[in-house]
Amino acid sequence: MQVQVSLTIEIGATASLTQMEEQIREAGQEAMREALKQAIRQWEKQHHMCPHCGQKQHRLEGTTRRVIATMFGRVAVPRRRFRCQGSGRRWCPANSLFSELKGGTISQPLQEAAMLAGCSWPYRAASSLLRRLSGAEISAEEIRLLTNRGGQQRAAQQQAEAERTCSTPAKEAAAAQQAEPPMLVGLDGGWVCSREQRGGPRQPPRQRHRLAQRRYVATFGPARQLGQQAKAAAQTLGGNPSRPVVVIADGANWIKKEQGQHFPQATCMLDWAHLWREVRYAIVVAARAKSLAPRERDYQLYLHRSWLWSGGVEQALQGLRTLGQGLDAEAREAITKAITYLEHQRAWIGSYEHWRKQGYPVGSGMIENVCTHISPRKKYPKERKRIFVRHSIQRTRTRAKVKEKIAMSLLLELLDYWRSSLWTLQGNRPE
């Protein structure tokens, strides 16, 4: 089957290089649309046998219009209709050619380009860029639907792979002659806002560290799915099941549950930033209520920070109880909250100084950076949409009634030399 298309371009004598390029591009797109029409017409001529009885005798009964969105623009194809002389039934040969569209109007190459553009830019910007770069005419809503459908398919595939990996027991590997570096698992959750606002998503913060090997897992599903994907990624990157594992997180209950199920032998570490933020706030409130001098307040901060940094939870608890004596209700509530927090997170608090000497990260900046990248902490107008994780968020009319956080992402790193970068499941060979 051969298709021949002639191309004639009229370019003014005073046209610039940019104008020439633009005119040639438009003429090329028009030629591609015409070539597709002729290719379909030639295909119809070669497939003129009746699909019902197999006879070749037929008569033409007009055409019916079908519009297809392609990478080079919308093509209006006049499909020819035939009437079989034997069975008397009518058919369009081109219908079998268009069956891969599954009743739609967007070609497969344009669908792939739309999903890639929808993941990279806001939907309106993606629509305009596709039109400007290739001539494709696809709306922002169509890009949104294609991107969401592709994301759902990829999420289902990723979850199936994680469940299959978790259902297969890990093979016991021979003990290595040299001690392997530990595997770091970091977990955190965050709100996910709509990316349809004008201007696109917030730019991610500058990375301070980078690891050569890394593994990203994320889900819009419940925490159970996130834990399964974490285990699957750990088995993919870790290999040896006897390898030591270190879990660093902010101490949320759902994180502890997933850690106990999938990483029961791991060394658990409470993120230092979250720990010190809770204790420091209580000390500052108590110092303000007691009208302590700045030097005395700073001494209390230094004292409790030293205790917690070396793993002295009991000393910090005793210091907070002593500081909370004689306070009013509001300040005493802050001290009580900090004491409860330390008692609840006691199992995850250790000697941060010792962990730092071993090369472990003691802060979850790598996790928080990814949360900021995926779910930027930015206030949007109330009329703009928010996307919440189903089964994890109780959607109500008032923001005050939202009681749960989203289980959004997970970090795994293979540490050999710690230069942490992102909230992910990561490996640890430095570049």
Q: 310 and 283: one domain?
A: yes
CA angle 55, 102, 194 (to 5 degrees): 170
Q: What is the pLDDT of residues 177-207, one digit of tens each?
A: 445 566 667 666 665 554 444 444 445 444 4
Pairing of strands 267-270, 245-249: parallel
CB 421 within 8 A of CB 208: yes
Q: Cα 309 from chain centroid?
A: 34
Q: What is the token pair recorded at 50?
A: 């009746």
CA separation, residue 42 to residues 37, 66, 170, 256 (Å): 9, 16, 56, 64
**For the chain, how many structural domains are there in total?**
4
CB 276 within 8 A of CB 390: no
Q: 187 and 254: one domain?
A: yes
Whole-number pLDDT of residue 334: 93
Boundary (domain end) residue, out of 348, 380, 404:
348
Residue 236, judged by CB atoms within 10 A of its CB (0-12, 13-18, 19+), counts as: middle
- 327-359: buried (b, 16+ CB within 10 Å) or exposed (e) per residue? beeebbebbeebbebbeebeebbbebeebeeee
Q: 45 and 25: one domain?
A: yes
Residue with the bigger pLDDT between 411 and 116: it is 116
Provide the domain limits for residue 251: 182-271+363-426
- 177 domain residue, yes or no: no
Give pTM, 2 decimals: 0.55
- 404 domain residue, yes or no: yes
Residue with the bigger pLDDT between 418 and 54: it is 54
Q: What is the pLDDT of residues 289-317, one digit of tens each?
A: 999 999 999 999 999 999 999 999 999 99
Q: What percent of the chain has pLDDT over 90?
A: 29
- 331 domain residue, yes or no: yes
CB 185 within 8 A of CB 266: yes
Q: 110 and 233: one domain?
A: no
- 58 domain residue, yes or no: yes
Average pLDDT across the chain, whole number: 77
Boundary (domain end) residue, out of 96, 124, 154:
96
CA 74 – CA 63 distance, rounded (Å): 18
pLDDT at 340 over 60: yes
- 120 domain residue, yes or no: yes
Q: 257 and 382: one domain?
A: yes
Q: What is the pLDDT of residues 227-271, one digit of tens each?
A: 888 888 887 776 666 778 888 888 888 889 988 888 888 889 998
Q: 257 and 191: one domain?
A: yes
Q: 148 and 68: one domain?
A: no
Q: 51 and 92: one domain?
A: yes
Boundary (domain end) residue, out of 348, 377, 408:
348
- 234 domain residue, yes or no: yes
